[in-house]
Amino acid sequence: MLKKELFNVVAKDFNSGYWELCDDSQKEIWSKKFYESLGYMKEEVRPTIDYFLEYLIHEDDTSVFRDNFLNYKNNSIDFRQHIKILAKEGKYKLYRCATNDELPVDIKSEVNFIFFSEVKLEPEQATTKDNFYYKETAQMTSTGSWYVDFEEKKSYWDFETRRILEYPDDYIPSLRDSTNYYTEDSRQQAASLFFNCAMAGTPFNTEIKMVTAKKRVFWVKAIGKPVYNKNKEIIGVRGVFQDIDEIKRKELRLRKSIDIIASQNSRLFNFAHIVSHNLRSHTSNLSLLVQLIEDIDNIEEKIAFIKDVKQISCSLNTTIEHLNEIVAIHTNKSQKKKPVKFQDAYNLVVNGIGQMIVMSNAQINVDFKNLNTINYIPAYLESILLNLITNAIKYKHPDRDPILEIKTYCLDDNEYLRISDNGRGIDMKLFKDKIFGMYKTFHYNEDAVGIGLFLTKNQVESLDGKITVESEVNVGTTFIIEF
Amino acid sequence: MGHRIGLACIIDDDSMYVNLVKKIVEVKNLCRNLMVFQNGMDAFNYFEAILTNLDKKAIPEIIFLDLNMPIMDGWEFLENFTKIKNKLGKTITLYIVSSSINPVDIERAKTINTVKDYLIKPVTIEDLEAIFLKQTL
C-alpha cells in the first residue's frame, strides 16, 4: 500500500481532484477535492461515468471525453483534454484533465487515475472564456491575427503574429514598414492584394513568402477581408497569417519530385522508342534475310548469305553495347560525385588520344584558372571532354589545322565549361534539334556513328546540368556545359 | 498484266537492308533497274537535277523511303520532294518503309498526301512482290 500512500500525498499537494477507476465499469471513486471543487455534496451526484456524461460535462466535450475515457480504461491509452463541467452554482467551470502520465512526480500505479485541475482564467481573460480557446487555437495552429485600422491609422498584431514573425512583444507594426514583412519577390503581390481589399473590398486568401524580424524567409497563408462601418464604408482590413512553411516546403519538394519523375518518364519513353527502333532495324534485316534464304533453291547461294547473318549479328551487338552505355548512365547516377580537377581529367583524355592530336596537328588551349575543380563524377567529366575534343578534331575544317579553346568559368553562381573549335561547323538551321539525337550524323564522315553527343547530353542531364551548342558553317562550333 | 517496272528507288542508310532488297528484286525479277540513295539529301539533289533536263526514264515509278537517316531524314525529304514532284511530269508512288513503330510517326505519315502507305520493317518478300505487282496494273 506504500504506493497508494505516496500517491495520496502527491495528490493532495497537486491540489486537484481525481477519479480512481474501478474494474466495475458502473462506478468510479471520485476524490473529495473533486466534489469540493465543483461544490457538490457526495449525495447530490452519482460517481459514474454515465451520470457524468449525462448531467455534468458540457455537451461540447461529451463525445471526445467519452472516447478518451473508454480508451484509457480499456486500453490504457493516456490522454489529456480540456473539459467544461457543470458546477453546483449552475455555471460551467473549465478543467484540465489528464491521466497518470501527467503527474508531476513519477509514480507508477497499478490503478488508473484521471486528474482534474481547474483552469483559473486571468482576470481580464475571464471576461470571455472564448479568449482562452482563441489563444490555444492560435498557438496550436500557428495562426496570428492582424488588423489595419484606417480611421485610427494604426496596425495591430496579436501575440501569435508577433511570434511567427519573430518580432518582440512590444513591437508596433505599421503599414509604412509593411514592405519589410514580405520577400522582395512577393511585395508586389502583397501590395496589390491589400489595396484591392482596402479599395474594392475584395477579400484574399493566398500563400505568400514573408520575412521575419530575424530575416528568416518562410511561407505563410495570408487571409484578409475588409471591415465595414454602418455606412458600408471600408474602415479597415482584418485577417490572419498562418505559418505553413513546413507544409509549403513539402509541397514544393513534392512538385519538384513530380517534375523529375515526369522528365524521367519521358526519357524512358524516348528510350523505349530508341531501343525498339534500333533493335528492330536489325531484326527486320534478319527476318528478310531468312526469307531470302528460304526462297532460294541454290545451296551455294544460300551459303553465301551466311556472311550477312554474321554482319547483322555484329551490328546487333554494337547496338546493344550502345544501349547498355545509355542505361549505364542512368543507373550510375548514384555514383559518388567528388572533387575533380579539370586539368587532371583533361590530361587523362589527352594522353588517351595523343596519337589523334599529333596526326591532326591540333592545337588545344586550355584555361582552367577561373574554375579549376568541380564536384562531379570523374568518369563523366572525362567522357564529356573526350567526346567534345575528338568531335572537334574529327570534324575539323578541311583547309586548316584544328584549334580548340577549352575554358571553365563561373557566372551567376553557376559553373561552366566551354569548348570551341574552328572546325567545319554544323548548319544550325538544318540540324538544331538533332545535334544531340542518337544516330544522327551531319557530315559525310565514314566513322561518324552518332552516339557521342547523345551520350554526352545524357551524362550532363543525368547530373541536372545543361548542354547547349552554337555553330556556324565554316567557322566553328562551341559547346557550353552548365554543370 | 502490264509492263514490268522500269526503275525503282530506295532511300535508306541501312546498307544491309538495301542489299537484301536488291537481292530480292533480282531473284524475283521485280524491276529492271534499282537506284539507291543513302540519305534524303542525295536523293533530293538527284530529283532537283532531273528538273533541268526532264529525262522521264531517269524518274523512278516507285520510291521506298526510310525515315531515320543522317544529313537529311525522310520527313525533310518529303517536305522538299512534295514541292517539286508535280514538276516531274510523272506519277511516282512513294512508300515509307521504316522500323519505327511510333504511332506519332505513323499518324504523321497519314497526313502527307505524297505518301501512299507506311510499311513497317520487316517487310516480307510477299509484300514487295505485291507492291511491285500493284504498280504494273
The verdict on residue B46 lying in a domain is yes
Closest-CA distance, A288 to chain B, in angstroms, reads: 6
Top residue of B13, B28, B68, B127 to mutate, by most chain A CBs within 10 Å, is B68
pLDDT digits (tens, 9 = 90+) for B66-94: 988 877 888 889 998 888 888 887 888 89
> Is the pLDDT confidence value at B99 over 60?
yes
Cα A241 from Cα A221, distance rounded (Å): 6
Residue A150 and residue A26 share a domain = no
Contact B16 A273 (CB under 8 A): no
User: Which of the listed residues A333, A350, A366 is the one where a domain comes to its end?
Assistant: A333
Q: How far is B49 from chain A (nearest CA, A)?
A: 20
Residue A128 located in a structural domain: no
Question: What is the β-pairing status of strands A217-228 and A204-211?
Answer: antiparallel
Beta partners for B10? B36, B64
Query: Looking only at Cα atoms, what is the longest distance across chain A?
Result: 119
**What average pLDDT does the segment B45-64 reach?**
84
Q: Residue A93: CB partners within 8 Å, gap ≥ 6?
A: A37, A38, A84, A85, A87, A118
**Facing B99 at nearest CB: one of A280, A311, A450:** A280
Residue A100 lies in a domain: yes
Evaluate whether residue A73 is within a structural domain: yes
CATH number at residue A263: 1.10.287
Please name which of A377, A375, A285 lies closest in space to residue A332, comparing C-alpha atoms: A377
**Low pLDDT (below 50) residues in chain A:** 1, 125, 444-446
Residue A144: its pLDDT value, please? 92
Does some domain include residue A12?
Answer: yes
A286 - beta bridge partners?
A: none
B24 part of contact set with chain A, CB < 8 Å = yes
Is the same domain home to A174 and A78?
Answer: no
Q: Is B27 exposed, middle or buried (0-12, 13-18, 19+ CB in 10 A)?
A: middle
Number of structural domains found in chain A: 4
What is the ipTM metric for this complex? Answer: 0.80
Residue A105 phi/psi, 5° resolution?
Answer: -115, 150
Domain count, chain B: 1
Q: Do B122 and A288 touch (CB under 8 A)?
A: yes
Q: Do A427 and A355 share a domain, yes or no?
A: yes
Q: The sheet that has A113-118: what strands, in order across it?
A: A28-30, A17-21, A113-118, A92-99, A80-86
Report CB contact under 8 Å: B102, A273: yes
Calculate the dihedral angle through the C-alpha atoms of B74, B75, B76, B82, rounding to the nearest 10 degrees.
100
Query: Torsion angle of alpha carbons A438, A443, A446, A451, nearest 10°?
Result: -20
Residues from chain A contacting residue B125 (CB–CB below 8 Å): 288, 291-292, 295
CATH number of the CATH domain containing A416:
3.30.565.10
CA-based nearest distance B63→chain A, Å: 19
Q: Do B70 and A439 touch (CB under 8 A)?
A: yes
Same domain for A147 and A228, yes or no, is yes
**C-alpha span between A288 and A286 (Å, rounded):** 5
- Please check whether residues A339 and A328 belong to one and the same domain: no
Residues A453 and A372 in one domain: yes
- How many other CB atoms are found less than 10 A from the CB of residue B62? 22
| Domain that includes residue A290, residue range | 253-333
Pair A20, A93 in one domain:
yes
In a domain, A248, yes or no: no
**Per the domain annotation, does B135 fall within a domain?**
no
Q: What pLDDT does A283 receive?
A: 85
Given an 8 Å threshold on Cβ–Cβ distance, is B70 in contact with A281? no
* Cβ <8 Å between A292 and B24: yes
Yes or no, beta carbons of A292 and B121 under 8 Å apart: no
What pLDDT does B103 receive?
Answer: 82
DSSP code, position A242: E
- Asked whether residue B134 is domain-assigned, the answer is no
Residue B14, chain A, CB below 8 Å: the answer is yes
Same domain for A341 and A475 = yes
Give A-chain residues touching B71 at CB under 8 angstroms. 441-444
Domain identity same for A319 and A342: no
Q: Does B21 touch chain A (CB under 8 A)?
A: yes
Contacts of B10 in chain A (CB under 8 A): none
| pTM greater than the 0.95 cutoff | no
Cα A79 → chain centroid = 33
| CA distance readout (Å), A47 to A29, A93, A359 | 7, 18, 103
Residue where a domain stops, chosen among A60, A94, A120: A120
What is the distance between the alpha carbons of residues A235 and A153, in angstroms, rounded to a whole number? 10
Query: Which residues lie closer than 8 Å to A152 by C-beta, 6 or more apart?
Result: none
CATH of the domain at B78: 3.40.50.2300
Of B14, B73, B125, the CB nearest to A291: B125
CB distance from B90 to chain A under 8 Å?
no
Q: What pLDDT does residue B33 have?
A: 87
Q: Is B122's CB within 8 Å of A439's CB?
A: no
A145 and A195 housed in the same domain: yes
Three-state SS for chain B is CCCCEEEEEEECCCHHHHHHHHHHHHHHCCEEEEEEECCHHHHHHHHHHHHHCCCHHHCCCEEEECCCCCCCCHHHHHHHHHHHHHHHCCCCEEEEEECCCCHHHHHHHHCCCCEEEEEECCCCHHHHHHHHHHHHC
B101 contact A CB<8A: yes
Say how far residue B70 (Cα) sits from the centre of its chain.
17
**Domain end (from A215, A243, A271):** A243
Which one of A308, A311, A450 has the shortest CB-CB distance to B70? A450
Closest CA in chain A for residue B15: A285
**Share of chain A residues as helix, strand and coil, in percent rounded to the nearest 5:** 50, 25, 30
On average, the pLDDT of chain B sits at 85
* A405 and A471 fall within a common domain: yes
> Would A453 be classed as within a structural domain?
yes
Is some CB atom of chain A closer than 8 A to the CB atom of B87? Answer: no
Q: Are B66 and B100 in contact (CB under 8 A)?
A: no
Q: Indicate if A266 and A278 belong to the same structural domain.
A: yes
